[in-house]
Amino acid sequence: MPPFPPTMPTDPTALSDTLARWYDEAEQARLEGLADAARSGLERILAHDPRHPGALFSCGLLAFDAKQFDGAYEWVSRAIEVAPQAAFYDALCVVQIKRRAFPSAVEAAREGLALDPTSRNLHYCLGVALQVSGHPEEAALAYRRLLELQPDDAQTRAQTRAQAHANLAVVIKDLGFLDDAERHLKQALALAPANLGARASLATVLLAAGRYEEAWPLFEDRWANFVGEDGSPVDARVTLPMPQWRGEPVQAAGARLLVLPEQGHGDSLQFVRYLPLALERFERVGYICPPSLRRLYEESLCARWPGLVMLDDTWPEAADWDWHCPLMSLPLAFGTRLDSVPHDVYLNAEPHRVAVWGERLASAWSPPLPRVGIVWAGGHSGLTEDRARSLSPRQLAPLLALPFVNWISLQKTDDPAKRADPSVQARLIDCMDAVTDFADTAALIANLDLVIAVDTSVAHLAAAMGKSVWLLNRFAGCWRWLRDRDDSPWYPGVRIFTQTRRGNWDEVLERVSEALLQRFGRSAERMERAPASPSP
């Protein structure tokens, strides 16, 4: 970086030329990753021209690169105030997506498109902002518009169109159109065969359609689409020195398999069914177990299959194991088809703990009506999928008003917005503050006649125990529940109540109310009922 001149030129043309030269030097430093030098150069420009739009914008880019998104927002906004440009709005939209300010991101993209309707980046950013904020119809329009625009060169055209096809496919899958989603994903892969995210998305489309044999190999790239609470990509793939077992014959006697955890508690509860099957191929199977599940698995699985061991939630010594397999790769290893899903009951609650919880429930409410457990919201509140699958407590009020069942809360959440309000709480027995892990939850569930739950871990737990479960399923829900079915090959005891229109829980709850009346209402009418309240 040249030294700061002792004096500034007084001639306007010379001043403009000097600032332009400084700006070019600062930009070159930024592009080369020399953040400190770039920042010094930009500060020098702004000291002489506080409204220099390029310098303001570049400061925003530096802040963005440093993950200082609030600062990036301030800098880019100042640049827009001075000189509105489509590229500035493009950056502002990305910044707002990172800040999870989705309405503002949509607004920024649309203001930028008003300046440049042919901007491919702005159409893409608009689509992303609409998609992650839960507006799939509008997002689909943005991506379709992007596909109508032609980039300048063949390489850019292929990359841009591939990602647009992939994103559009995810959106229209969420709108319920599996065939169209499959077509767009195959177009994306034809343009960019190395697009692992498109392969992973195609896997979920095929799984939702029940085409398991085609899907499982593609599902091995699921890691490419993992995101964290803030929507940022998460690199969750683990590289180990031992080979991954993919179902091939194991020749060595005494071979040991290490099974790796992944994703959420519901995924673990669904796929640990494969651990006993793995013992048919290996002398010893170890599972790196999340702490909240360990007691349940040790009592349900390890007690029955001594060759199965639950490991601490840390990486063990590689030398102790001969093979490894991610938990959700086991269906591939076993060649699982739709008609060969292992669906025996495989989890249970410890009998003494069941009795303790039974006594607690017996003293909590009278008369002795049927006991129905209820879960109305999932975890990971920041994710689009959770907003789609979860109900608010107030939405449940008409269901909880039914007088012929005792409602038991199975809801566990750290999000205050998901907690039952006083009017709903009055209709619930809620002992969840005393639940320390899934072994406690299992003991509580064992005392119930039915569990009604959204698509979350408790639904998997109850179903894996053989309990009758009614699943409140969002429109075009998770692949594991397939499409257009009210039963599940994974759990014989599950009955699925799916939204017929996206976001409409009212009609789902109406159907559930009618089903409850058919199952419990007639017998409950013969009981002598009196007003009752749960004990504290």
CA 360, 366, 371 angle in degrees (round to 5)? Answer: 70
pLDDT digit string (tens) for the chain, length 536 residues: 433 343 444 455 656 888 999 999 999 999 999 999 999 999 999 999 999 999 999 999 999 999 999 999 999 999 999 999 999 999 999 999 999 999 999 999 999 999 999 999 999 999 999 998 889 999 999 999 999 986 655 666 677 789 999 999 999 999 999 999 999 999 999 999 999 999 999 999 999 999 999 999 999 999 998 876 666 667 667 888 999 999 999 988 899 999 999 888 999 999 999 999 999 999 999 999 999 999 999 999 999 999 999 999 888 888 899 999 999 999 999 999 999 999 999 999 999 999 999 999 988 766 789 999 999 998 776 677 888 899 988 899 999 999 899 999 999 887 777 787 777 777 899 989 899 999 999 999 999 999 999 999 999 999 999 999 999 999 999 999 999 999 999 999 999 999 999 999 999 999 999 999 999 986 655 554 444 444 44
DSSP state, 70? H
Q: Which CATH architecture has domain 256-340?
A: 3-Layer(aba) Sandwich (3.40)
Residue ranges of the chain assigned to CATH 3.40.50.2000: 352-525
> Hey, which residues does 284 pair with through a beta bridge?
256
| The domain defined by 12-224 carries CATH number 1.25.40.10 | yes
352-525 adopts what CATH topology? Answer: Rossmann fold (3.40.50)
Does the reported pTM lie above 0.75?
yes
Cα distances (angstroms) measured from residue 284 to each of 262, 299, 325, 377? 20, 17, 13, 37
Tokens representing residue 224 in the block? 């490419």
Round to whole Å and give the CA distance between 108 and 429: 47
d(CA 347, CA 461): 8
- The conformational region for residue 435 under phi > 0 = left, psi -120 to 50 = alpha, else beta, is beta
